[in-house]
Each structure stands twice: as C-alpha cells, then as structure tokens.
Amino acid sequence: MKTSNYKGFELDWVEEKQVFAISLEGDHVSHVPTIEIGEKCIDFYHEASDVSFNLHRKRAEAARQAERDNAGPEPELATEGKPNVAWVKWYRAISGCGLREAYEAAVLRISQA
C-alpha cells in the first residue's frame, strides 16, 4: 500500500479499486484517481474551510453588534441585594462577555455600592 500525507490528510492507494483514498485521522473522505487530484481536493477543502470560518466569524460579530445596539437603557442593578436578571442580560449584551462574567460584574458592583 502506497501512502502519502498532505496537509494533515492521508492519501492511501487502494489496489483493488486502483484509486487513492483520502482520509482524515482514519475517517474516509473520498476516492481520487491520482495524488495530484487528491492534493487539489485537499487544497479546496482548506480554502473552503477558511472562507466558511471567516463568514461565521463575521456573522457572529454582526449578531453581537446587533445585540449591543438593541440592548436599550440600563435596567436596575439589583433587587433585594441580588443581581437583577435584566441587568445581567443587559450587561452581557453591551459588553459581549459571557453570562458568568456578567453575573460576576453585577455581584462586584453590588458589593462596591
């Protein structure tokens, strides 16, 4: 069996089919007649993955920006000494942080008041 590695993929010669099998970490992806075509397929996969990742990142940032833009006025920080859920959600929206960080920010502000 003839094996070649290219950009993290394996190209293995399959004698009975007279083709190269493309696999990634042992999972079969496709068959191609030559190593050159296999390398072009792998290059395309990498380029498409980069484009997809960049689009996902842009969409996620646009969603975060829309959330910040629509956050509205700051609600009351605390109710009976405990963080107000509306304030935690509001702070999370405007800061872009996670829920835990927003809750901790509320607790810190309450303790400093």
Instruction: List the chain pLDDT tens, one digit each, 113 residues.
Output: 578 899 999 999 999 999 999 999 989 999 999 999 999 999 999 999 999 999 999 999 999 899 888 888 999 999 888 999 999 999 999 998 999 999 999 999 999 97
User: Domain boundary residue among 37, 55, 70?
Assistant: 70
* Domain shared by 43 and 76, yes or no: no
* Domain shared by 66 and 90, yes or no: no
The pLDDT assigned to 80 comes to 87
The pLDDT assigned to 1 comes to 57
Buried b (16+ CB within 10 A) or exposed e, 61-88: eeeeeeeeeebeeeeebeeeeebbeebb
The pLDDT assigned to 17 comes to 94
The pLDDT assigned to 67 comes to 86
* Domain shared by 8 and 62, yes or no: yes
Q: Which domain holds residue 13?
A: 1-70
